[in-house]
Amino acid sequence: MTMTEPIIFEYRGSRRQPFTPLSEVPANLPEDALRQDQLLMPQVSELQVVRHYTRLSQLNYSIDTNFYPLGSCTMKYNPRICNRLAMLPGFLARHPLAPEEQGQGFMQCLFELQQMLQQVTGMAEVSLTPMAGAQGELAGVAMIRAYHLSRGDGDRRQIIVPDAAHGTNPATATMCGCEVVEVATRPDGDLDLDALRTILGPKTAGIMLTNPSTLGVFERQIEAIAAAVHDVGGLLYYDGANLNAILGKILPVDMGFDVVHVNLHKTFSTPHGGGGPGSGAVGVGERLRPYLPVPIVERRDGAYVWADESDRPQTIGRLSTYMGNAGVLLRAYVYLRMLGDEGMQRVADFATLNANYLMTCLAEADFELAFPERRASHEFIVTLKKVTRDTGVKAMDFAKALLDRGMHAPTTYFPLMVPECLLIEPTETESKQVLDAFVASLVELRELAYSDPQQLTTAPHSTPVRRLDDVRAAKHPDLAWRGAPKPTSK
């Protein structure tokens, strides 16, 4: 109900309570190594901190408060029990370098999680160390490179990505020293196989795909694509961001993939936390197994131990200081154990049902689908290009106006090649009631677009702030509080 809140630094004239057990001690450190200036930090009481951040939290939309159909992001319910159990004192107090024998409970969870992810992807082995999807991609492409290099095939530097690919795919390829080659999508949403064939060749390191793709459709030619890529000596990378759509229904290995990453913070419902932490576990087939990043949990003589560089001499190496985002892994483990096999398939079932239902309702309400002849996977794309042409109201305006209706916006303007697009992913944890309300809102907004477009182009109206000036933000970066509030240009 409080819609704005000062910067914490602006609570002046207050003093924190001392809380460390020792009082000030003489520093006994060389003078020239010490800070001379006063450290600028908030000086506030515990109540002020609690009140400030409690109020700030209330300014957020979140799964716990709002429908959040953000395509490609799988914003489903994050069970509270997963957090509770991952934060048990025994887990929280463990130092990452403590001996393995002191943490067998923790290690067993990770070992079992590795096995589950193996089975759910069909891969030969899994490493849990990548700390988000993008780091999983980096591990995967690095392994593809290592594989080619180990065969003296180091010239294979081309990584093929569809034009609809998520930005992390091409960015990852670059980070791995590869060259990105884009391949086009056909109007029906499948890949242009002919175009792909002309690209493939002796420089092909591999191809990165998600399936279902970021267009919300299942790539039907996946077998042909896999054959074509393998035929020229390339490998297939599976971006698992959309695994929720096919969980337990079809395994990446059966589609021909050699390496996959799984976004545990999407498919396995660990919280997005306002932007992380995530986890991007990678799984590989036999060919890439030697290159998996370390550490990996192994079971030896009935005990769980870390396998490291000495056990895995061909590993691409380490990606994190210790072993990755342990707490995220525990949450995913708890979630998976609660789902069970049936529960996993049910996730795919109902994620798909919800998406197709929503797509049907919107189509019947005369919204234009990007791929009207296709099934939705767990998400689908509406294009507002006609509305925009008729009224000037853009996809972004719809997005902002939805916020006024208490719903988070779908993903906008991604994938890039669909104009004025909304990528809508309801997830399996939302009820029919919520979906129906969403349809009603979109219908109402489209009516408004024709009758009173300004209502949309100036939306949102009821959020803590109105539409923000992004251009000003980038032109005159104000990225840190500098000691006194700046006057705002009213």
Partner 1 sequence: MPFIPHTAEDTAAMLARIGVADIERLFDEIPSGLRVNEFDCIGKGLTEAEISRLMHERASADKQPLCFLGAGAYDHYVPAAVWDIATRGEFYSAYTPYQAEASQGTLQVIYEFQSMVTSLTGLDVANASLYDGASAFAEACLMAVRANRKSESRRILVPRTMHPTYRAVAQTILAGQSLELVELPMRDGRTALSALQALATEEFAAVAVQQPNFFGALEPVDELTDWAHGHGGMLIAVANPIALAVLKPPGKWGADGADIACGEGQPLGIPLSAGGPYFGYMASKESIIRQMPGRIVGRTVDLDGNPGFTLTLQAREQHIRRSRATSNICTNQGLMVTAATIYMSLLGADGLRQAALACHANTRALVEGLTELPGITRAFDAPYFHEAVLRLDRPAPELLGALAAQGILGGYDLSADYPELEPALLVCATEARSGGDIQRYLQAAADLLFESGRATG
Restricted to residues 450-479, the positions that interact with its own copies (CB under 8 A) are: 462-464
Q: CA–CA distance from 271 to each of 96, 122, 276 (Å)? A: 22, 25, 7
Site residues for its own copies, 372-411, by CB under 8 A, read 406
Query: How far apart are alpha carbons 460 and 441 in whole angstroms?
Result: 14
290: partner contacted, choices ligand PLP, partner 1, its own copies, none (Cβ within 5-8 A by kind)? none
Residue 434: CB atoms within 10 Å: 16
Which residue in this structure is represented by tokens 């988000």? 132
CB of 231 to partner 1, least distance (A): 18
Query: Using CB under 8 A, which of 193, 232, 250, 307 touches partner 1?
Result: 250
Query: How far apart are alpha carbons 490 and 472 in whole angstroms?
Result: 14
Site residues for its own copies, 211-230, by CB under 8 A, read none
Binding of ligand PLP by 263 (CB under 6 A): yes
Binding of partner 1 by 300 (CB under 8 A): no
Per residue, what are the HEC states of 276-291? CCCCEEEEECHHHHHH
Query: How far apart are alpha carbons 139 and 260 in whole angstroms?
Result: 10
Nearer to partner 1 (CB atom), residue 133 or residue 234? 133
What backbone torsions phi and psi does residue 466 show, to the nearest 5 degrees? Answer: -80, -175
Candidate ranges 37-45, 197-205, 281-289, 380-388; the one touching partner 1 (CB under 8 A): 37-45
Q: What kind and span of H or E run contains 297?
A: strand 296-300
230: partner contacted, choices ligand PLP, partner 1, its own copies, none (Cβ within 5-8 A by kind)? none
The answer for residues whose C-beta is within 8 angstroms of residue 114's C-beta and 6 or more apart is 125, 126, 127, 128, 281, 296, 297
Contact track, partner 1, 181-210, x by CB under 8 A: ------------------------------
Number of residues that bind partner 1 (CB under 8 A): 213
CB of 374 to ligand PLP, least distance (A): 18
239: partner contacted, choices ligand PLP, partner 1, its own copies, none (Cβ within 5-8 A by kind)? ligand PLP
Number of residues that bind its own copies (CB under 8 A): 33
- Which tokens hold the place of 392? 């000037």
Binding of its own copies by 289 (CB under 8 A): no
Tell me how far apart the 2 most distant CA atoms of the chain are, in Å: 75
The answer for residues whose C-beta is within 8 angstroms of residue 421's C-beta and 6 or more apart is 370, 381, 382, 383, 384, 395, 412, 413, 414, 415
Q: What kind and span of H or E run contains 158?
A: strand 158-162
Query: How far apart are alpha carbons 472 and 7 in whole angstroms?
Result: 20
CB of 117 to ligand PLP, least distance (A): 15
Binding of partner 1 by 80 (CB under 8 A): yes
Query: Using CB under 6 A, which of 168, 269, 383, 427 touches ligand PLP?
Result: 168
Binding of partner 1 by 233 (CB under 8 A): no
Number of residues that bind ligand PLP (CB under 6 A): 14
Nearer to its own copies (CB atom), residue 40 or residue 50? 50
CB of 5 to partner 1, least distance (A): 7
Whether the bond into 277 is cis, omega within 30 of 0:
yes
Which residue in this structure is represented by tokens 């005159």? 476
CB 158 within 8 A of CB 289: no
Count the residues in the chain.
490
Site residues for partner 1, 424-463, by CB under 8 A, read 428-432, 458, 460, 463
Nearer to ligand PLP (CB atom), residue 132 or residue 348? 132
Site residues for ligand PLP, 189-218, by CB under 6 A, read 210, 214
Candidate ranges 26-34, 58-66, 96-104, 367-375; the one touching its own copies (CB under 8 A): 58-66
DSSP 8-state symbol, 199: H
For residue 181, what are the β-bridge partners? 160
Candidate ranges 22-30, 193-201, 228-236, 379-387; the one touching partner 1 (CB under 8 A): 22-30
Site residues for ligand PLP, 234-253, by CB under 6 A, read 239, 241
Binding of its own copies by 308 (CB under 8 A): no
2: partner contacted, choices partner 1, its own copies, ligand PLP, none (Cβ within 5-8 A by kind)? its own copies
Query: How far apart are alpha carbons 414 and 481 in whole angstroms?
Result: 33
Binding of partner 1 by 100 (CB under 8 A): no
CB 246 within 8 A of CB 348: yes
Q: CA–CA distance from 176 to each of 158, 206, 249, 321, 368 (Å)? A: 11, 12, 32, 20, 39
Residue 269: CB atoms within 10 Å: 27
List residues near ligand PLP by CB under 6 A: 72-73, 132-134, 166, 168, 210, 214, 239, 241, 263, 278, 280
List residues near its own copies by CB under 8 A: 1-2, 11-14, 45-48, 50-51, 54-55, 58-59, 61, 63-66, 77, 79-80, 406, 429-433, 462-464
